[in-house]
Amino acid sequence: MLCLRSLMLLVLSLQFVTSSEDIGGRRRRIINGEDLRDWNSGYLVTNYFTWISNQHFCGTFDSFGSFFTNVKSIFVDYDNKGYWECSPHPQSEKCGGALVTPKIVQTACHCVGAAVGFLKKNGRERFKAHDPFADMVFVYHGSTSTDDMHRGYTSQLFIIHEKCSKKNGIVLYDYGIIALKTSVDSASPTNLAPVYSEKTLNRIWTDVNVKEPTCLFVGFGQFLSIDDWASPTVMQHTWKVFQNYRRCYSWMRPQSVGLNYTTDGTWSCFLHVYDTNSIVYKGDSGSPVTCNNEYFGLNSAIILDFKIPSHPKLRKDRKKITTQLVIVAPIIFTPFVNTAEQRRALIRQVNKRVKKHENARTLFREAESPP
């Protein structure tokens, strides 16, 4: 993968993106990505990026030795506390996300839900949200290195887009929310994902489609070392080129059979920058993708060995090439979560759903109690 300095020179030479452009991450893993160690790099996405772990209890009981080392954890009410004070294991990464409020994380639907066959409708597999306790996740915020992550906030409720489903191998409306049990203590206004007006959200979508910029992807997904696969301890970053709406539609036509692309084609297409071999992979899903340092979307999926006509900005020949096609879910399709006009309503609705979920659990426990 090209180093950051070389990438910036390439971007300047292509003259379709400025040197201040930032680009966000995703929940598949960036293979051969460059380390992003500097918290003050100027990439605003590092302020609101969240690292999501699928390991319960931070590995406290993973081994006989760790049990005694962390035996004090037995006497702490972590359910009431809302977080665990322990460092995550890099191999336990599940997804990435964006902290939109101190208690709400935005991520991909497939990170907090799964397709269930018996809910098939019109050729689509509907998704069902995971159980926030049985499938508990830990959310870490405020660091570009797992070595500096020491507080994992526990999930209280998972919410997925009501239209989240799978058809022809592609997840539609790949948007999800994690409601946390307690507020993230590092969640100052500068460490939250930007909240846009509806006008600004539409302006970002239009600008990106017209200018086809190079956008930034970040994440902690798996990377390729000398002869082994491993999960990095430092945030990785790479650059991808946006493909306009019409071109993405023409490429994704096989996946669009049986649906209305205008309303259900909730994705954007990205290609890797010429002469780079970075790959978005398992572990980067749900991470925020930024264009021109603005929050554009969430990493959703990747199609390896995708055969498409080469883009004129990437190659001179017009023959079909085999490349990596990255699918991103733009946040313009979730204005309720990302616009200033709806922010107060979002918080009220999430709190309402959390309260209903807790009441249901309480009644369920009481029903199990002996008379």
The CATH number of whichever domain residue 280 belongs to comes to: 2.40.10.10
Residue 144 CA to residue 154 CA, distance in Å, equals 20
Residue 226 lies in a domain: yes
Question: What pLDDT, in 10s, does the model give residues 299-314?
Answer: 999 887 787 765 555 5
Q: By residue range, what is the domain housing residue 234?
A: 198-333
Q: Is the pTM of this model over 0.75?
A: yes
Q: Are 288 and 25 in contact (CB under 8 A)?
A: yes
In a domain, 151, yes or no: no
Maximum mean pLDDT: which of 58-72, 94-108, 176-190, 252-266:
94-108
Flag whether pLDDT at 71 surpasses 60: no
Query: 122 or 251: which carries more pLDDT confidence?
Result: 251
Domain membership flag for residue 183? no
Q: How far apart are CA 171 and CA 310, in angstroms?
A: 25
Rounded CA-CA distance 299/294 in Å is 14
- Residue 354 maps to a domain: no
Does 326 or 253 have the greater pLDDT score? 326
Task: Report the Cα 244 to chain-centroid distance in Å.
Answer: 21
Structure tokens at 189: 């206004």
CA distance 339 to 79: 31
With respect to residue 259, please indicate whether it lies within any of the assigned structural domains: yes
- Considering the domain boundaries, does residue 206 fall inside one? yes
What local confidence, expressed as pLDDT, does residue 187 receive? 76
Angstrom distance (rounded) from CA 32 to CA 153: 29
Q: How far apart are CA 128 and CA 160, in angstroms?
A: 8
Any domain includes 123: no
In the three-class reduction of DSSP (H, G, I as helix; E, B as strand; rest coil), residue 340 is classed as helix
Question: Does a structural domain hold residue 222?
Answer: yes
Q: How many residues would you count in the chain?
A: 371
| 33 contacts: CB under 8 Å, gap ≥ 6 | 1, 219, 221, 223, 232, 236, 237, 238, 278
User: What digits encode the pLDDT tens for the residues 150-165?
Assistant: 899 999 999 999 999 9
Q: What total of structural domains would you count in the chain? A: 1
